[in-house]
């Protein structure tokens, strides 16, 4: 099997996934663990993922309770060394078995260090994976030209009743259980939402209504709006942006994560741009502007907000310590804020899980 890059570079290795071809945007993730959560993150739709950690597959794959969506979302997988033998008390199958069942091709034996250095120098590239991707009609297709959010977003809305206990992310962060009966109704716009975001927002005091990316929630009764993560170019989500603007005119509290940060910025009148190679790992440093404190965060995004275009009344909430790119915005007087990283983790640290706590606490006061 071979990985073909649009600049003519070819990496050769051994197949350990599905016997099929794939095309997409070749990106790299520098996380040491968490491949199960990452490969099921809808934000990876349309991408061939390069895992930089040298040994992958050694702890197998658990059941779907650990997935961040119902299925594997990546287009293809590239690793340096695949471990055929796995050992973990929760493992139900090998990574290779899961890839084959999911119809996702994968290649091992690739010099992922050299590949990652190329992507860092030249930026993410289009690529094709397979024995003969061109013959299979899967050569150099740019996924960002497609509205990937429409692909991964659910078709129907779903309600989540109040949780009887604190969410896992909140419990790990030391949060206390709060009493209530789901009186706070939150509309969650699912643009490719990870399951741990749902678990983080469902509390004894909340009722969560999960809606499709283009659902018009402006006529519904709700107390607050949440905008999820998701894949692709945020400017293609024009219905979502329009609905967010309606929520802003109504003065509704808003929290966004990842793509939600970009969509809130666009709704406010700011601009977004494509990063050279994006941020994909569980070790990205984000600095809070007001306190100067640096948090280690989980991230997965290829686009960012241009903080220089934020209109009057808005300010940068977080910035990336590595490249200075925006990691969050907030309004100075209105209850609108968002972050580019993933406070729900899965995988990654739960250092910023307090953002969910603050959001819910603010809704109790309003």
pLDDT tens digit string along 279-313?
999 999 999 999 999 999 999 999 999 999 999 99
- Distance, in Å, from the CA atom of 7 to the CA atom of 81, rounded to the nearest integer, reads 24
What gap in Å lies between CA 119 and CA 133, rounded to an integer? 20
Tell me the pLDDT tens digit for each residue of 70-120. Answer: 999 999 999 999 999 999 999 999 999 999 999 999 999 999 999 999 999
With a cut of 50, say whether residue 39 has pLDDT above it. Answer: yes
**Structural domain of residue 252, as residue ranges?**
148-365
Task: State the burial class of residue 3 (Cβ atoms within 10 Å of its Cβ: 0-12, 13-18, 19+).
Answer: buried
Catalytic choice (68, 258, 279, 301): 258
Evaluate if residue 170 carries a pLDDT over 90. no
* Residue 167 pLDDT level (bands cut at 50, 70, 90): very low
> What pLDDT, in 10s, does the model give residues 176-193?
333 457 899 999 999 999
Domain check: are 125 and 152 in the same one?
Answer: no
**Cα 14 from Cα 107, distance rounded (Å):** 5
Confidence of residue 135 (pLDDT cuts 50, 70, 90): low
**Which of the four pLDDT bands, split at 50, 70 and 90, describes residue 318?**
very high
Q: What are the beta bridge partners of residue 273?
A: 304
Is residue 157 located within the same domain as residue 289? Answer: yes
- Check which CATH number belongs to the domain holding 33 and give it: 3.50.30.20
Pair 204, 319 in one domain = yes
Strand partners, 15: 107
Q: Are 90 and 66 in contact (CB under 8 A)?
A: yes
Query: Are 90 and 155 contained in the same domain?
Result: no
Residue 342 bears catalytic tag: yes
Residue 185 shares a structural domain with residue 52: no
Closest CA to 330 of 319, 316, 320: 316
Based on the fold, state whether residues 153 and 288 are members of the same structural domain: yes
Q: Do 338 and 190 fall into the same domain? A: yes
Asked if 57 and 156 sit in the same domain, the reply is no
Domain with residue 250: its CATH number is 3.40.50.880
Active-site residue (options: 243, 279, 331, 342) = 342
pLDDT attached to residue 151? 97
- Side by side, the strands of the sheet bearing 294-306 are 158-160, 206-212, 184-190, 224-227, 254-257, 336-339, 326-331, 314-320, 271-288, 294-306
Flag whether pLDDT at 165 surpasses 90: no
pLDDT one-digit tens code per residue, 207-239 = 999 999 999 999 999 999 999 999 999 999 999
Residue 344 catalytic? yes
Q: In this predicted structure, what is the pLDDT of residue 139? A: 79
Give residue 200's region: left, alpha or beta (phi > 0; psi -120 to 50). Answer: alpha
Instruction: Please give the pLDDT value at position 208.
Output: 97
> In terms of domains, do 134 and 190 share one?
no
Per the structure, how many domains does the chain have? 2
The token pair at 286 is 């984000």
* pLDDT number for residue 179: 44
Total residues belonging to the chain:
366
- The answer on pLDDT for 168 being more than 50 is no
Which of 145, 169, 200 marks a domain boundary? 145
Mean pLDDT of the chain: 93
| Phi, psi dihedral angles at 351 (to 5 degrees) | -60, -30
Decide which of 120, 145, 170 is a domain's last residue.
145
Confidence of residue 132 (pLDDT cuts 50, 70, 90): confident
39, 64 contact by CB (below 8 A): no
Range 188-208 burial, b when 16+ CB lie within 10 A, else e = bbbbbbbbbbbbbbbbbbbbb
Residues 243 and 255 in one domain: yes
CB 233 within 8 A of CB 192: no
Long-range contacts at 170-177 (CB < 8 A, ≥ 24 apart): 170/200, 170/203, 170/353, 170/356, 170/357, 172/350, 172/353, 173/350, 173/351, 173/353, 173/354, 173/357, 175/353, 175/354, 175/357, 177/204
Residues 112 and 235 in one domain: no
258 is catalytic: yes
Q: Going by C-beta distance under 8 Å and a sequence separation of 6 or more, which residues neighbour residue 198?
A: 160, 188, 208, 210
Q: DSSP assignment of 154-189, as one string?
A: -SS-EEEPPPSS--HHHHHTTPPP----S-EEEEEE
CA 183 – CA 364 distance, rounded (Å):
9
Query: What pTM did the predictor assign?
Result: 0.93
The answer to whether residue 242 scores a pLDDT higher than 50 is yes
Residue 256's contacts (CB-CB under 8 Å, 6 or more residues apart) are: 226, 227, 228, 263, 264, 337, 338, 339
pLDDT of residue 169: 45
> Do residues 214 and 253 lie in contact, with contact meaning Cβ atoms separated by under 8 Å?
no
- Tokens standing for residue 324: 């200075």
Question: Residue 347 pLDDT more than 80?
Answer: yes
Indicate the pLDDT class of residue 20, thresholds 50, 70 and 90. Answer: very high
- Distance in Å from the first CA to the final CA of the chain: 57
Domain termination site, one of 117, 145, 173:
145
Q: What is the pLDDT of residue 172?
A: 41
Whether the per-residue pLDDT at 338 is higher than 70: the answer is yes
- Claim to verify: residue 20 and residue 85 sit in the same structural domain: yes
162 — pLDDT class (breaks 50, 70, 90):
confident
């Amino acid at each position: 099997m071979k990985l073909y890059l649009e600049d003519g570079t070819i990496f050769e290795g051994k197949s350990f996934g599905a016997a099929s071809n794939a095309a997409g945007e070749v990106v790299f993730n520098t996380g040491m663990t968490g491949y199960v959560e990452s490969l099921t993150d809808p934000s990876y739709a349309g991408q061939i993922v390069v895992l930089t950690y040298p040994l992958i597959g050694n702890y197998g794959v658990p059941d779907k309770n650990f997935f961040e969506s119902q299925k594997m979302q990546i287009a293809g997988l590239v690793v340096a060394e695949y471990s055929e033998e796995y050992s973990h008390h929760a493992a139900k199958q090998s990574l290779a078995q899961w890839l084959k069942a999911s119809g996702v091709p994968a290649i091992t034996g690739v010099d992922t260090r050299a590949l990652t250095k190329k992507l860092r120098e030249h930026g993410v590239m289009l690529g094709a994976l397979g024995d003969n991707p061109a013959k299979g009609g899967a050569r150099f297709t740019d996924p960002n030209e497609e509205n990937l959010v429409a692909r991964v977003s659910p078709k129907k809305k779903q309600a989540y009743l109040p949780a009887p206990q604190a969410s896992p992310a909140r419990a790990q962060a030391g949060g206390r259980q709060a009493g209530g009966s789901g009186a706070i109704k939150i509309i969650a716009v699912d643009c490719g939402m990870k399951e741990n975001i749902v678990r983080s927002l469902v509390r004894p005091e909340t009722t969560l209504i999960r809606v499709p990316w283009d659902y018009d929630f402006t006529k519904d009764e709700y107390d607050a709006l949440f905008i999820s993560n998701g894949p692709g170019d945020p400017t293609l989500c024009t219905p979502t942006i329009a609905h967010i603007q309606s929520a802003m005119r109504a003065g509704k509290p808003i929290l966004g994560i990842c793509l939600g940060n970009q969509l809130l910025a666009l709704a406010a009148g700011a601009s977004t741009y494509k990063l050279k190679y994006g941020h994909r790992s569980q070790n990205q440093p984000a600095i809070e502007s007001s306190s100067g404190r640096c948090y280690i965060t989980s991230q997965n995004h290829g686009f960012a907000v241009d903080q220089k275009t934020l209109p009057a009344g808005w300010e940068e909430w977080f910035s990336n310590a590595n490249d200075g790119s925006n990691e969050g915005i907030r309004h100075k007087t209105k209850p609108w804020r968002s972050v580019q990283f993933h406070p729900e983790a899965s995988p990654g640290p739960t250092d910023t899980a307090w953002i969910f706590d603050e959001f819910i606490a603010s809704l109790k006061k309003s």
